[in-house]
């Protein structure tokens, strides 16, 4: 078996008796002590009471107490993190991400930004960013849940426009579809919720705001640090050189989507189609009164 695994283990000898060694000595001592205890210690109430004094140090008690501790700990841990509130799930993910990325940036980041290398801001970019900022402010401060969902949809569409400006039509298409479906799903959920429902207080909103600003700052620093790293153009050069010669297409982005990574694009379209069918089914769903319970 060892040889079939490709390992050079040398010669292997199987023996029933390996001679007198420390292992044999320990085995003999264990058997001898067990035999002596069996014939000398007779069961009695006095011996039982004396042994019960060491019950808390017995392996059974130690294992039982350890099991009880881990059971209580796992129960408290589950109730703390898996409590059914999406806000807590997202907050937990964001906190761990902030700690991990923040520690890495603190250890390795240079915080050197060359603003001269940035492209000038166009009117389209500035106007789209302004619309996005207004929508963000409206989402945060509005008292209407439906208006907040609509404003979040505007933020998503503004991101789609930025993708189009930066020549990423595939991302724009995916973002537009997912954002539209998300808004529809949120509206359907809000339609089933009570009209007036207070979900958070001011302390919770302040905590969420600080967490969001910290997370955004960490991601911004990470992006700036990535931009400061030297960029390798080997992949871009390969696509630029082979887009027309190999795939006979002049638009490099379209050639990448359809030819070089066509399977990935097909899976993305399949996911969007499945999501669209699910939303359409929810919109057309008409349950009987007996099934609405």
CA-wise closest residue to 187 among 278, 274, 283:
283
Query: What is the spatial distance between Cα 83 and Cα 207, in angstroms, rounded to a whole number?
Result: 18
Asked if the model's pLDDT at residue 290 lies above 60, the reply is no
Average pLDDT over residues 28-36: 92
Residue 186 CA from chain centroid, whole number = 22
For the chain, the domains span: 22-77, 243-282
Query: What is the spatial distance between Cα 12 and Cα 2, in angstroms, rounded to a whole number?
Result: 10
Query: What is the spatial distance between Cα 171 and Cα 217, in angstroms, rounded to a whole number?
Result: 23
Query: What is the spatial distance between Cα 178 and Cα 24, in angstroms, rounded to a whole number?
Result: 70
With beta carbons less than 8 A apart as the criterion, state whether 265 and 273 touch. no
pLDDT > 70 fraction of the chain, expressed in percent and rounded: 90
Give alpha helix (H) positions in the chain.
22-40, 45-52, 59-81, 86-108, 123-141, 145-165, 169-192, 202-228, 234-247, 252-255, 262-283
Residue 91, Cβ density class (10 Å: 0-12 exposed, 13-18 middle, ≥19 buried) = middle
Across the chain, what does the average pLDDT equal? 81
According to DSSP, residue 195 is labeled S
User: What is the predicted pLDDT for the residue at 196?
Assistant: 61
User: What is the predicted pLDDT for the residue at 127?
Assistant: 92
pLDDT category at 88 given cuts 50, 70, 90 is confident
* Most confident stretch, 68-77, 119-128, 193-202: 68-77
pLDDT category at 6 given cuts 50, 70, 90 is low
Question: SS3 of 196, please?
Answer: coil
User: What is the predicted pLDDT for the residue at 11?
Assistant: 67
With beta carbons less than 8 A apart as the criterion, state whether 243 and 250 touch. yes
Query: What is the spatial distance between Cα 249 and Cα 260, in angstroms, rounded to a whole number?
Result: 11
User: What is the predicted pLDDT for the residue at 98?
Assistant: 92
Token pair 């490709």 in the structure block, residue: 6
**Residues in the chain, overall count:** 293
CA separation (Å) from 225 to 72, 107, 218, 231, 269? 43, 12, 10, 12, 33
Average pLDDT over residues 152-166: 89
Confidence (pTM): 0.57
Residue with the bigger pLDDT between 193 and 55: it is: 55
User: What is the predicted pLDDT for the residue at 29?
Assistant: 94
With beta carbons less than 8 A apart as the criterion, state whether 162 and 125 touch. yes
Q: Is 167 left (phi over 0), alpha (psi -120 to 50) or beta?
A: left
pLDDT category at 144 given cuts 50, 70, 90 is confident
CA-wise closest residue to 285 among 179, 186, 188:
188
């Amino acid at each position: 078996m060892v040889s079939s695994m490709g390992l050079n283990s040398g010669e292997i000898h199987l023996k029933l008796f390996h001679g007198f060694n420390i292992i044999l000595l320990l085995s003999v001592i264990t058997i001898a002590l067990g035999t002596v205890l069996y014939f000398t210690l007779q069961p009695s109430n006095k011996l039982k009471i004396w042994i019960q004094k060491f019950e808390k140090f017995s392996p059974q008690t130690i294992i039982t107490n350890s099991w009880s501790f881990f059971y209580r700990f796992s129960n408290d841990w589950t109730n703390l993190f898996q409590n059914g509130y999406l806000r807590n799930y997202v907050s937990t993910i964001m906190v761990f991400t902030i700690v991990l990325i923040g520690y890495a940036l603190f250890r390795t980041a240079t915080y050197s930004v060359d603003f001269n290398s940035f492209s000038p801001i166009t009117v389209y970019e500035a106007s789209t960013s302004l619309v996005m900022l207004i929508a963000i402010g409206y989402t945060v401060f509005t008292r209407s849940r439906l208006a907040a969902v609509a404003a979040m949809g505007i933020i998503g569409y503004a991101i789609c426009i930025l993708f189009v400006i930066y020549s990423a039509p595939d991302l724009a298409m995916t973002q537009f579809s997912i954002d539209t479906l998300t808004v529809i799903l949120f509206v359907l959920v809000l339609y089933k919720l009570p009209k007036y429902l207070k979900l958070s207080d001011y302390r919770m909103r302040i905590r969420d705001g600080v967490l969001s600003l910290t997370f955004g700052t960490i991601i911004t620093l990470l992006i700036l640090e990535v931009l400061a790293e030297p960029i390798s153009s080997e992949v871009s050069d390969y696509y630029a050189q082979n887009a027309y010669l190999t795939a006979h297409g002049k638009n490099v982005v379209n050639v990448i989507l359809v030819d070089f990574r066509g399977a990935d694009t097909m899976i993305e379209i399949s996911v969007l189609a499945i999501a669209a069918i699910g939303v359409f089914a929810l919109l057309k769903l008409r349950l009987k009164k007996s099934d609405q319970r």
